[in-house]
Structure 1
């Protein structure tokens, strides 16, 4: 894990204001609110929009693919905080082992360890990060593997997690005690 740096905006201390507590209660399922939410809570309107616009529910794509695009996007953005939270909370549920988590940061999108859909999701994350678009060849492959609702969800996940990465990087949200840092190469 990278050396800790002081946050630029401190997370609000607990307990939060009652309206913030109630907004986070359902999402956190009894666990204390994550530092990212306590940081964004400085602007309750943005927090409410962030929580309402989340894509962590049962969507049109399997959990494993959802987490792969999130992990790859946050890794490409250098958002170690968000990568670690997703690795810790969802990695096991998505059946992503240690080697796959490492490959989400350091591995090639076309590595033989990934199945076709996983390779395409990683290639999509890479293309969106580096070019903010996909070429016609990749688009044709994506269209052959995913339905339109899935393509929209995958693209929106990559975009949403770019925004989340910007936030955690700019505000220097401290690492959660339970979350790993980026794996070594």
Structure 2
């Protein structure tokens, strides 16, 4: 048994195969990240909840801004690139907004007031582990309790995802987008 964490390849243990069957796939291809999670059935089933379902209290656009900003701040080109490739267009994000999730600030003209606040809150969570007093009242006013928890859960989950992708040195998926300027 190897202690090198890397994506599993088929054939999978039947229990792993059963869980992986519920993960998103394209023509039978399972992302390297998900196959890396499969090194632990516990992690695969419990550690990273699926927050990408249609029942999210956040609109797709806000969800993706949270994910892109979090993964960009953690220098996770793998995960950032997967989300840009799969979700950015459906979320209505322009090329300038996509680039700003990596290289911009909350004050960039590409964001409306709500999105600027969302970027500030994500930056706070990533940098300080809390939403600062400067943003907290507006955060609580603009987002429902469900949405507030979802924003925090997305930040936390995508910290974990970024840690796994970065620490295992996952190569970008063939369809993944590179960070702007690379």
TM-score (norm 2): 0.90
Aligned to 2:5: 9
* Residue 23 (structure 1) aligned with residue 19 (structure 2): yes
Deviations 1:44-74 (A, max 9, x none): 12111145x2211120010000000000000
Residue correspondences, number? 177
Is contact 2:96-2:110 (8 Å) kept?
A: no
Aligned to 1:3: none
Aligned to 2:160: 163
Unaligned runs of 5+ in 1: 1-7
* Residue 56 (structure 1) aligned with residue 25 (structure 2): no
Partners of 1:80 and 1:57 lie apart in 2 by 23
Aligned to 2:137: 140
Identify which of 34, 39, 42 aligns with 1:45: 42
* Residue 179 (structure 1) aligned with residue 182 (structure 2): no
* Residue 117 (structure 1) aligned with residue 114 (structure 2): yes
Aligned to 1:100: 97
Q: Report the Cα offset of residue 184 of structure 1.
A: 1.1
Pairing of 1:75-90 with structure 2 (within 5 A): 75-90=72-87
CA RMSD in angstroms, aligned pairs only? 1.6
Higher RCO (C-alpha 8 Å, min separation 6): 1
Partners of 1:135 and 1:124 lie apart in 2 by 8
Partners of 2:47 and 2:20 lie apart in 1 by 11
Q: Report the Cα offset of residue 156 of structure 1.
A: 1.1
Is contact 1:75-1:83 (8 Å) kept?
A: yes
Deviations 1:108-159 (A, max 9, x none): 1121221122111111111111111122220011122111111111011111
4+ residue segments displaced more than 4 Å: none
